[in-house]
Amino acid sequence: MVSLHLWKHYVHALSQVEFHHRPGRDLPDWTRATQSDREHVASLDGLALLLVFRPQGDVAAVSYWQSADGLKLLWAKNEPVDDLNTHNYIKKLLDNVRINTSTADLLDIVISMCKEKILHRVRKLAKSFDVSQTNQRQEESNLWQFDKTKGPCQMLEAMLERAGRLKGNESVVSLLDRFTRFVGRITKDSKAADLWTVLYFSSCVSSVAGLNTILKENQARYLSKLGDYVRILERIPLMLKKVGKAKITVEQVMTQYIPLIPCRII
């Protein structure tokens, strides 16, 4: 018999495709979730993120089915997928994860498939800072309103130092301004290495608690969404470690939304 606990997580993840259209952390019971539940949902949300390719109208959800000797990853989108490129991409990711491919190399695979969605998010970040190819705001300084006397800014500086982002005598303000203008120069013709740079830097700064007190709420959110690509790829090895030697397979699940028809009881 299938436990209610497993079915709860399975239905929760797949239901996001048609019913919620938002991550699990936005659901009403999120504030009462345990740390284990939070990590579980974050992992599922992150894996689903790797299956979203188009800027709009593209939704994915992931769950899993675990037995004594195997783990089956179940994925679904808001419409059935028979595109060979998508299935090959998923297989390539899984094959590379199995051989402990580095996060950086996994990110190259993801960028090649998710480039449209990533570019869409980068453009939203650039727009929130009012920077573009033609408007680099070169006459202005401190686009992040960085104030080193404030706690969150001090945490941000410490994070940048630990990550080796501050080189030579470059100040935090200069580094943040340089990154922001770089984001404004990103176009559809930008190289994968440019997107790689944006995603890794976003992952670094968005891991700082209180970033939304330094930046506007939407700016912090856009950085976090971009940083999620790196975070989930870093989390995958930890997920596999828990699985041990269990055989991992991947299966697409077909979902169908049947609206309820109002009726009158006689």
Q: Residue with structure tokens 């979203």?
A: 52
Taking the C-alpha atoms of residue 233 and residue 111, their distance in angstroms, rounded to an integer, is: 12
192 bridge partner residues: none
> Tell me: the pLDDT tens digits for 174-195?
999 999 999 999 999 999 999 9
Taking the C-alpha atoms of residue 181 and residue 141, their distance in angstroms, rounded to an integer, is: 11
Nearest to 74 by CA among 66, 84, 86: 66
Least confident span in 1-10, 115-124, 212-221:
1-10
> Tell me: the pLDDT tens digits for 200-231?
999 999 999 999 999 999 999 999 999 999 99
What is the overall mean pLDDT for the chain? 85
Domain ranges for the chain, please list them.
4-25+37-252
H or E stretch including 254?
none
Taking the C-alpha atoms of residue 123 and residue 131, their distance in angstroms, rounded to an integer, is: 9
> In this structure, what DSSP letter does residue 261 have?
P
Residue 200: how many CB atoms within 10 A of its CB? 18
In the predicted model, is pLDDT for residue 261 greater than 70?
no
Least confident span in 30-34, 224-228, 244-248, 256-260:
256-260
pLDDT at 8: 45
Of the two residues 64 and 24, the one the predictor is more confident about is: 64
User: For residue 202, what are its two tokens?
Assistant: 């976003």
> Tell me: the pLDDT tens digits for 22-33?
455 555 555 666
Cα separation values, 145 from 9, 53, 157, 176, 207, Å: 41, 33, 13, 10, 18
In the predicted model, is pLDDT for residue 72 greater than 80?
yes
Reduced to 3 states (helix: H, G, I; strand: E, B; else coil), residue 89 is helix
Average pLDDT over residues 112-136: 97
Of the two residues 7 and 179, the one the predictor is more confident about is: 179
User: For residue 123, what are its two tokens?
Assistant: 């453009």
